[in-house]
Amino acid sequence: MTKSNIVRVFVIRHGQTDHNLQKILQGQLDTPMNATGHQQSQALGQRFSTIPIDHFVTSDLQRCQETLKYITQHQKSPSVKVTPNLRERDMGKVQGMYLKDALEQYGPQFRNYGEKEESLCRRVSLELKEIVEDANHENVIMCTHGGVITRFFNYLHSELGYELNEGLSAKDLRVPFNTSISIFDVDRSTGKGVIQSFGNTAHLGGDFKVDDQLLR
């Protein structure tokens, strides 16, 4: 890869919501961040305060737009695209249910309700294609949701052949913590990519993980 051909994409998960805390399956419900989410996002904004970002793309759900504002306030004339293509996967009839109730009523197959993962990857891929095709983009932030990040990074690796940086393995591509930072690079000339890091939470003062991987 040559430097001039590379676009780096920082993928951010939104800050915490009460639904996250209460283990409610949010899906595409338009829930706001809670106080902890705002604190997390403020720390995230400081993390990017010295990194010039060329372009921002965010889910149109408010928890992502709220998160992104803590980053864009440190940028000069930020270019921001708001799109439903980066929304969380619609979870159908279990959306809005407590996780324990969904498991009790439908079992582990509750995850199969709603939007198919293939559909999710198609819509996120449209946004990535637009990013890569714009030669003015060198550092880009995508702000989206835990389920989107998990599925799309697995798609990049297992289906598009993106390499994993040293120290990463496929089993690391799990639902990341709120306001975590995951990074991949794409070479415009070849279409090849490298997943550089996944789920980094150093800006929060530690290495934090999501315990319950069934939540979305």
What residues are labeled active site? Answer: 14, 88
- Output DSSP code: residue 72: H
- The CA distance from 184 to 161, in Å, is 12
User: Is 127:56 a contact under the CB 8 Å cutoff?
Assistant: no
User: Is 148:13 a contact under the CB 8 Å cutoff?
Assistant: no
- The CA distance from 149 to 142, in Å, is 10
Coil/strand/helix, residue 169: coil
What are the E-state strand segments in 84-145?
139-144
Phi, psi of 80 (to 5 degrees): -125, 130
